[in-house]
Amino acid sequence: MPNSSERHACGHGALAGLRVIDLSRVLAGPLCTQMLSDHGAEVIKIEPPSGDETRSLGPPFDSKGDAAYFTAVNRGKRAMVMNLSHPEGRQALLDMVKDADVLVENFIPGTMQRWGLDFEDELKPRFPKLIYCSISGFGPDGPLGGLPGYDAVLQAMCGLMSVNGDPASGPTRMGIPIVDHLTGYTALTGILLALNDRHRTGLGQRVEATLFDTALSLLVPHAANWMYSDQVPGLLGSAHPNISPYDKFQCLDGQVFLGILNDRQFAKFCAAVGLDHLVADPRFETNAVRLQHRGELRSEIEKTLAQREREKLCSDLMRAGVPVGPVNTVPEAFAQPHAQHRQMRVEQDGYRGIGVPVKLSRTPGVTGSPPPRFGQHAASVLRDAGFDQERIQRLATLGVCPVSGD
Cis (ω within 30 of 0) for the bond into 221? yes
Q: How far is CA 293 from CA 207, 286, 299, 301, in A?
A: 47, 11, 10, 13
Under a CB-based contact definition with an 8 Å cutoff, are residues 211 and 136 in contact?
yes
180 in catalytic set: yes
Q: What are phi and psi of 149, to 5 degrees?
A: -135, 140
Measured CA to CA, the distance from residue 1 to residue 12 in angstroms comes to 12
In this structure, are residues 24 and 104 in contact, taking their beta carbons and an 8 Å threshold?
yes
Residue 217's contacts (CB-CB under 8 Å, 6 or more residues apart) are: 182, 186
Whether the CB-CB separation of 134 and 210 falls below 8 Å is answered with: no
Contact 130, 102 (CB under 8 A): yes
Q: Residue 346: which of 4, 70, 75 has the closest Cα?
A: 75
CA distances, 321 to each of 56, 302, 341, 372 (Å): 46, 20, 22, 45
Interhelix angle 310-319/263-273, rounded to 10 degrees, is 130
Task: Choose the catalytic residue: 180, 197, 316, 349.
Answer: 180
Which residues are known to be catalytic?
Answer: 180
